[in-house]
Structure 1
């Protein structure tokens, strides 16, 4: 263990970092690093050189990595680099955006310079533009794209939150701090004062009728956003507010079966408290105003931070396992996910289970068949608990009795407030609750037929069948969140069901002649139908806390069916 460490380079170009544990050896601190990557062994030596473009100018920022290791560096402003290799059999991999990757065997050389060839992928890569793809050079509309890997850099519950601040022209605003809440998405601003400004979400080619919270971010391959009139041309008035095209993962042809796993566990803490007066500041203000005197529960020597008594530290847990692969004629991908997020407000949490599968299989020479299914079950809890009580309570009001127990209410000069603390909320979570359970399945099937003898001509039929049901329930027990301990209990139940189908018939022709001239034409016939039904019932004076909201017919008080809470909508193309 007396091998000396000669160098340690940070791979800034690859944004690589790691924690280096230290141990004490022979009176010195020695990093525990892989010897093959960092220690000087037989045949190890330093290689330097210059990476240039075809015109001879140096290329800055080129990544130079020893293949099969984490040893690497980047070229400086003039294209020069220096790197340590472990042995003569090492291979240097040179890569940079816009240039073809090069692999060079080192041997016993100490100086290696290389010229990189520019690649023209930018003009030949394809972009998703609604009903199909198009080469980037032919796209005339405004299309913004982001990969699934970039989305997953931020651990969030839904893709809307992951898009926040990531794409130009796309505004994401969070209207609720409750876990799992879907954000508001605006593409190039707000268009209407009264109508909906939400963009159209298209999942794997089929208009998506559900909540974006039903889509597991781990399943995303890419997201493309159509931001101009091209969206309206493709999707009609449905795309007037822009279109969010979501493409989920698929396997690769010829790939052996591969099991993947990803997961993280983290804590969620309060970013910043509301700036409220402390006890001494409030006392000084009241004395300066000379309007109110202290109530029975107030004293000048009391200093209570009601926000500290309410907030908690939440846990965020995300686990995903998948299987993907393919053959020479097909590919598949299946994934199961679990996500749970606790809010900083007690009882607020969001739980989601998801299962997704996709299969794409060629049948013979001219036919392809496949399907994609996305299924989720989610539970959102705690929307009944807010922070009004913590912000409304006087900082000089003492919530504790002489024996240290919490009072039920505190009296202030103009108000009496139910004591809302973390302990109170958690102790009454079976008597003061709100939850929404959602079950959704989104399914797409397709068949594609290539016309024999006519190169580039094919017919495709897409069928989307979707179903989503959301059941809500809330219960507030007697005297809960109320001044009087005899305030009767209340409960409510709600139900919302969405059924949706879409059928698309697409005839397309795409062919390049002479390597320069391209013809791309598409004819489409689409039919869709969407039915939404919602109902809600409320009741007072539930005879027992054990009933909660599960049997409102036994309520001793009034049962209310508000016509404004009952909805039925049907639309289609």
Structure 2
């Protein structure tokens, strides 16, 4: 009996211990932590899965994860580009993981709208660039660093002054009258500022969403593409101390090349030829034929650029922080121009318990631009080499200088000595702030609240003392303008992520958001300012002697709002089949009642072919994915209140009095709605030869419907101006190819990578308002590119022996030596131009034709990086083939008065009896005012070029001495920017940069020559701060 009891007790204890063991093993605990790469950077989107179960999660934007798992279970952590790890939980509540890189795998994660995604799972068109790669091209503005780096993204310089922004176009121009600028997202929040407000050293990565299946999640805001900017978060080499990074460079800037102006002997011969041809100019009292003044040598100066950035970042238990300050200063080769920027940035993220985390991010900048409006280049190029900048006693001339018997200019050398007599300054303060809070409701389901608050203030002041340059009125005057914009955004997001059986990955997100922007502008102008000390700062001190005016058209206030709802579903099966579907609806306050809301669907799919069993034996192909996407976006491309009618004031005679009254200036449009685009995108992603060659090929087509067009009204309407309406359609089609190759990898210490991209876009206007076939005033023609050039076609110069032909086409005023253009009319049986017989004239506006477009045949960029042990050499370049370049230097009337003999003149091969060239006409001539007839035809050049934009040689130090000093990284480098230009007709003739440097914009038209009108949206090479060649020396150090 006793033995039996002992046996039963033994059996009982066995089952008890077994039960307790199973209970202990089955106990579920919460495990959280952070997943990082070997450098300490958090890994976004890493998969954390309990093997053999449907239990899994993914790391967030800060690399954090949280999962409920068996206390004695296992976790498998994986991410594409890194070796997976299997980890025993062993009852731990926090497990931090460092994944080692696996160079045999794709190593990219991209930031998409409201989330992140592994590169291999992406189904839309997204291009990415790391911040350190972008900063190989140092600049004050990230848009300059991106030039030629990403296929389908074109950067056009609209001003070369320090601090200027660039025009960004993603896959061409869509809208005719609205903005074509992309949406910028800064750390997940829409960014209302300028890219010049962002310090490039704060940027960790940049992702560009190009097709509608990717941008539809941002609705009407994403119609022109989306640029996603992610800044640095907390990092640490060890949990007990932070990381300190200091980056600095200093450089000098020199003029790329002088403008090709005539010297004294060339100018004298040219003016004498003009006088012989009928010019009435006489030599000015300030001109002396014995002089040979090079105004460019006297005025252009060496400039400098300097940048300093200090950042401190670290991690806390469950969080991280990053704080940075920056200073940037750049002067110009033109006196009086400078750009300064002070920046301050901070971020803090913290996990509290298992279920809650929050974070705050702030980016602030204060910028000062001096000399941004008043440009002395006109005087530099217009003053002749026969003028003397100095008085007889050697002092600088400060009065008026007569360069002929009627034209007066000021000496540009006096600018630096003006002191308080001249001020042109724009100050910008910008503050961009975001706050988020996130609650983990259950595993995989979380709620996030994003709050954004942005503020931007522009303060512009201009003062010109009496008898100073840029002052046509001769009396002291000043302008003050203040512009303020505030913007707030609230986004409510619900996320659900689930991994089932390690094959099914589901990601859902729903959002409801509200946004409001409020802006105001005030402007005042004053004359007869009594003291230079007052300048533009306090017009209230003028007293009775001063005159202050307020232009009602420059006093502006508006408010606009946007409500949105969105849902997106992403599904992936076995990393082979991917599907993404998005639906968003927007309601805009600026559109008419009944037309305020629009819904945007988008869907895209991907197929990882190399994941299929039938591809296992194809060893040379590492990765191949096909993508297809469809989506719709829209553009609310109008200003607030534009749907309403407008009244303006004007004066009229009433008896013997002049009284003010109101008139209808704009008609209301109660059906004004959305301009929307439909896009199809097809893509192929591939990696070959053991990851030595990778690339992407894409084809897209985008049709924009109900284009907002300013329709001209007939005089019988009684309303001047235009009427905004939805009546137009445009189309963009294009192809893009990006290639990256590793030529050498760890070959006796050598590494060599190369990159290349090429893209071509073709846009076309399919229809205009009211069935019009063209709108010549705006340069729009159905069936032609949006930026078509419509003008006469120069076919040569009328030569001696062609006198009868000249009369036939030009009439009695025609002469040899003048521009010959192409006649587009018909001829009679005798070979005579019919238009002359019917209208009494031959060559007229009917002979204007489409000459081409500024859109190139194709363009792109290239780069290469060579490394040997601690040394590295990088070369970056861009190129363009085809298209037209417009040079106002060759036809502008404002400064040079081309071929008139009056002012300074660029070197040209002009026609004389002894030099019967077909390049440029004879000086002066009997034609329109000061310019030869058809002068605008002289401004068109082939826009092709190949340009090396950046060469950098660097050295990374290493050794035990660095560890002893606590230095983690130390690199020094030297850079030269804009060193070489090839294959450019314009550069060969002028020595000038073939890239545009004058503002295009989307406004009214501007005259390039007296007999040609060019839409001002077309950027030109003009009278702006000239291009420079820069030499930089830099330092990167990390502690």
Same fold? TM cut 0.5: yes
> Does 1:311 find its partner at 2:300?
yes
In the alignment, what sits opposite 2:348?
Answer: 359
The Cα shift of 1:131 comes to 0.7
In structure 1, the residue matched to 2:260 is 275
Find the aligned partners of 2:560 and 2:511 in 1 and give their Cα distance.
20
Taking structure 1 as reference, are residues 248 and 545 closer, same or farther at Cα in structure 2, changes over 3 Å only?
Answer: same
Shift of 1:412: 2.1
TM-score (norm 1): 0.76
Distance 1:210 1:117 in 2: 39
Q: Which residue of 2 aligns with 1:493?
A: 480
- Relative to structure 1, is the Cα distance of residues 557 and 511 closer, same or farther in structure 2, using a 3 angstrom cutoff? same
Does the residue aligned with 1:282 lie in a helix, a strand or coil?
Answer: helix
1:531 is aligned to 2:518: yes
Distance, in Å, in 1 between the alignment partners of 2:284 and 2:526 is 36
1:249 aligns with 2:237: no
Aligned counterpart for 1:411 among listed residues 402, 406, 420? 402
The Cα of 1:327 is off from its aligned counterpart by: 2.8
Deviation, structure 1 residue 553:
2.7
Correspondence list, 1:377-396, <5 A: 377-383=366-372, 384-396=374-386
The change in CA–CA distance for 1:140 and 1:98 in structure 2 (over 3 A counts) is: closer
2:443 counterpart of 1:440: no
Does the CA contact (< 8 Å) of 2:431 and 2:455 recur in 1? yes
Q: Which moved more, 1:376-385 or 1:349-358?
A: 376-385
Q: CA deviation at 1:560?
A: 1.6
Give the secondary structure class of the aligned counterpart of 1:284: helix
SS at structure 2 position matched to 1:451 = strand
Contact 2:208/2:225, CA 8 A, preserved across alignment: yes
Task: Give the whole-Å Cα distance in 2 for the aligned partners of 1:235 and 1:310.
Answer: 49
* Correspondence for 1:467 among 455, 458, 470: 455
Show CA shifts across 1:36-89 (max 9, x none).
xxxxxxxxxxxxxxxxxxxxxxxxxxxxxxxxxxxxxxxxxxxxxxxxxxxxxx
- 2:192 is aligned with 1:213: no
Seen in structure 2, the aligned counterparts of structure 1 residues 417 and 177 have a Cα distance that, compared at 3 Å, is farther
Q: 2:532 aligns with which of 534, 545, 548?
A: 545
Q: Which has the higher contact order (CA 8 A, sep 6+)?
A: 2
Summarize the Cα distance change of 1:117–1:481 in structure 2 as closer, same or farther, 3 Å threshold.
closer
Deviation at 1:417? Answer: 2.9
SS in 1 for 2:265: helix
Once the two structures are TM-superposed, the CA of residue 118 in structure 1 deviates from its matched residue by 5.9
Quote the offset at 1:318 in angstroms.
0.4
- How big is the alpha-carbon RMSD for the aligned residues of Structure 1 and Structure 2? 2.1
**Residues 366 and 564 from structure 1, CA distance in 2 versus in 1: closer, same or farther, beyond 3 angstroms?**
same
Residue aligning to 1:166: 149
* 1:432–1:483 distance in 2 versus 1, CA, 3 Å: closer
Task: Indicate the residue corresponding to 1:397 in structure 2.
Answer: 387
Deviation at 1:483, TM superposition (A): 8.3
In structure 1, the partner of 2:550 is: 561
Please tell me whether residue 512 in structure 1 is matched to residue 499 in structure 2. Answer: yes
CA contact 2:478–2:527 (8 Å) conserved in 1? yes
User: Structure 1 pair 191/305, CA: closer, same or farther in 2 (3 Å)?
Assistant: same
Is the Cα–Cα contact under 8 Å of residues 202 and 244 in structure 1 kept in the other structure? yes
* 1:458 and 2:449 correspond: no
Asked whether the equivalents of residues 409 and 416 of structure 1 are also in contact (C-alpha less than 8 Å), the reply is no
What CA deviation, in whole Å up to 9, does each residue of 1:278-324 have, x standing for no partner?
11110111223324442222222211111222211111110011111
Q: Per the alignment, in what secondary structure is the counterpart of residue 365 of structure 1?
A: coil
Match of 2:174, SS state, is coil
Distance in 2, matches of 1:438 and 1:398, equals: 39
Aligned partners of 1:241 and 1:483: how far apart in 2?
Answer: 40
Q: Is the 8 Å Cα contact of residues 287 and 404 (structure 2) preserved in structure 1?
A: no
151, 160, 164: which one aligns with 2:134: 151
Larger Rg: 2
Q: Residue 211 of structure 2 aligns with which residue? A: 228
Secondary structure of 1:269's counterpart equals strand
- Cα distance in 2 for partners of 1:511, 1:325 equals 31
User: 1:246-271, CA deviations, whole angstroms, 9 ceiling, x for partnerless residues?
Assistant: 11111137643111111111111111
Structure 1, unpaired ranges of 5+: 1-96, 101-115
- Distance in 2 (alpha carbons) for counterparts of 1:220 and 1:378: 18
| Deviation (angstroms), 1:333 | 0.7
Alignment of 1:73-112 (within 5 A): none
Q: Distance in 2 between matches of 1:261 and 1:567?
A: 43
Q: Which moved more, 1:255-264 or 1:314-323?
A: 255-264
Partner of 1:431: 421
After superposition, what is the alpha-carbon deviation per residue over 1:119-154, rounded to whole angstroms, capped at 9, x for unaligned? 3335xx421111111222221111111111012222
Q: Alpha carbons of 1:518 and 1:483: their partners in 2 closer, same or farther (altered >3 Å)?
A: closer
2:365 is aligned, of 355, 376, 396, to 376
Matched length: 457
Distance of 1:429 and 1:172 partners within structure 2: 36
1:158–1:119 CA distance, 2 compared to 1 (3 A): same
User: What is the rounded CA distance, in whole Å, between the counterparts of 1:224 and 1:199 in structure 2?
Assistant: 12
Please state whether the residue corresponding to 1:121 is helix, strand or coil.
Answer: coil
- Cα deviation for residue 414 of structure 1 reads 4.6
